[in-house]
Amino acid sequence: MRNYLLLLALIIPAAGMGFPPGSGQGALSVPGQNASVTDTLRLDMAYSLVRERFPLSDQADMQREIRDLRIKNVNAGRLPGITLSGMAQYQSDVTEIDIQLPASTNGFDMPSQPHDRYQIALDLEQRLYDGGRTRARRDLENSRSDVALNQIRVDQHSLKERVNDAWFAILALRSQRAALEITDKDLEQRLREIRSQVEHGAAPSTAADIIQAEQLRIKQQIRSLTARERAAVTVLSELLDTELSADIVLQMPEVPGQLMNEQLEKLEKPDFRQRPEMAFFDAQRSELTVQEAVAAASYRPRVTAFGQAAYGRPGLNMFEDSFQPWYIIGVRASWSLWNWRTEDREREIIHIRMRLVDNQQEIFNRNMRMAVQADIEHIAGLRETIRTDQEIIALHENIVSDAASRLKNGVITAAEYIAELNKRQRAVINRDLHQIELARAWINYQTTTGQ
């Protein structure tokens, strides 16, 4: 959008900038708030509104809810695990004791296991030591949430550019319309003079027709500019989620000259620490560090206490062919002694991703330095251009004043006067476009540096 205003001037011919004070009175109605009305909107107010009311702010609340729920799930891993299970099965074979008993034991049979089995059990498991897995996973959820929240802040910062686009488009369109209205008034005065001359036979009737035709063309452009302005106000209203009247007054941002000179001296080392992307990169590094801790914890030993209370047939005594209750309690430990260097590869992946984040930040910093350089150079060039515009306008004012006098005395034609008037109008347009473009370049500089 750096060349937006210049393109706008080409698309919408003949206009001027700098609407006079009091040319528009509007109201800013804030939904959901009582008696909150103003007729002027500042750019910083627009930034606050878009940050608070654009749906991205709702995403931040939802992301925090997701984080809290996930942390609760992680913490639940420290609580006992209770499982109820049941089983019924039939075995084709069972263990038998094949011993030949002496004849004296006539009537005694060796015990045997049943082929059918039934069991219902309640298992209880309590984690005693998990190698820091729970703590690492909790930290990981917090880190992931920080990354997501910082991404939302980055997206919110990008909304400022969209607000800037709509804001300065409205200013440009209004300024062009105001310049055309001034020109229209000037033509109206000349038309009265020419008609008086026509009535006295001092000028041809076509002279009045020429000025009247030019007036109609100016009014046509004013209607077109008004329609485009309303469209831009609608866009701004949607961004701010606020009903703006069509003639809401938008305050022109000021460009502090002394501050800009100080910024020019600091150009070689711009500071982007206020940009939300910096916090986003730091959050990504923190997440990767925590991921490394999670990977390391997953290969540490685990100790678990367990217990089982059951009822079934057979019980723990495999040769008792009846339903019996029983229980088992104990402690279980496990440790993966060899993982085929999986942990080393996971750590290497994390380090590569860390370098990738560093590379992305370096690319971002370089792009920002180029953008700041362009903004500063643009601002310096526009200041010189505006000074030249003032000189050009002063010269055209003298020319138009002289042309008006000669037109009144019948020395030149209406067409010749309109030609000089249009030259002055284009000079005013260029100056005011450059003034708005200067303000836009300054706002771009502040947005780029995160101010």
Kindly state the average pLDDT of the residues 434-447.
Answer: 87
Give me the pLDDT at residue 110, please: 65
pLDDT at 36 over 50: no
220-247 pLDDT per residue, tens: 999 999 999 999 999 999 999 888 888 8
HSE-up of residue 382 (Cα within 13 Å, Cβ side)? 26
Q: Please report whether residue 102 resides in a domain.
A: no
pLDDT at 274 over 60: yes
Q: Please report whether residue 438 resides in a domain.
A: yes
What is the token pair recorded at 184?
């229209």
Give me the pLDDT at residue 197, please: 77
What length does the chain have?
Answer: 451
Rounded to whole angstroms, the Cα distance separating 442 from 148 reads 30
Give me the pLDDT at residue 104, please: 55
- Asked if residues 175 and 432 have their Cβ atoms less than 8 Å apart, the reply is yes
- Asked if residues 300 and 131 have their Cβ atoms less than 8 Å apart, the reply is yes
Task: Tell me the residue ranges of DSSP E strands in 81-167.
Answer: 81-90, 116-129
Q: Please report whether residue 58 resides in a domain.
A: yes
- Asked if residues 166 and 236 have their Cβ atoms less than 8 Å apart, the reply is yes
What does pTM read for this prediction?
A: 0.74
3-state secondary structure of 29: strand
DSSP class per residue in 180-198: HHHHHHHHHHHHHHHHHHH
Give me the pLDDT at residue 83, please: 94
Number of domains composing the chain: 1
pLDDT at 119 over 90: yes
Rounded to whole angstroms, the Cα distance separating 198 from 188 reads 15
Give me the pLDDT at residue 388, please: 92
Give me the pLDDT at residue 264, please: 56
Q: Which domain range does residue 146 map to?
A: 4-9+17-91+114-448
Task: Tell me the residue ranges of DSSP E strands in 36-152.
Answer: 40-41, 81-90, 116-129
Identify the H or E element spanning 31: none
Rounded to whole angstroms, the Cα distance separating 229 from 220 reads 14
Q: Please report whether residue 104 resides in a domain.
A: no
Q: Please report whether residue 42 resides in a domain.
A: yes
What is the token pair recorded at 98?
């094949």
79-88 pLDDT per residue, tens: 999 999 999 9
Work out the percent of the chain whose per-residue pLDDT is above 90.
Answer: 37
Kindly state the average pLDDT of the residues 90-117.
Answer: 71
Q: Please report whether residue 48 resides in a domain.
A: yes
Tell which residue, 176, 164, 225, 227, has the closest CA to residue 1. Answer: 164
pLDDT at 2 over 70: no
From 9-23, 116-130, 369-383, 415-429, the region with the lowest mean pLDDT: 9-23
pLDDT at 6 over 60: no
- Please, is 435 exposed, middle or buried when counting C-beta atoms within 10 Å of its C-beta (0-12, 13-18, 19+)? buried
Give me the pLDDT at residue 5, please: 39
Most confident of 99-103, 112-116, 376-380: 376-380
Q: Please report whether residue 97 resides in a domain.
A: no
Q: Please report whether residue 211 resides in a domain.
A: yes
Q: What CATH number does residue 149 fall under?
A: 1.20.1600.10
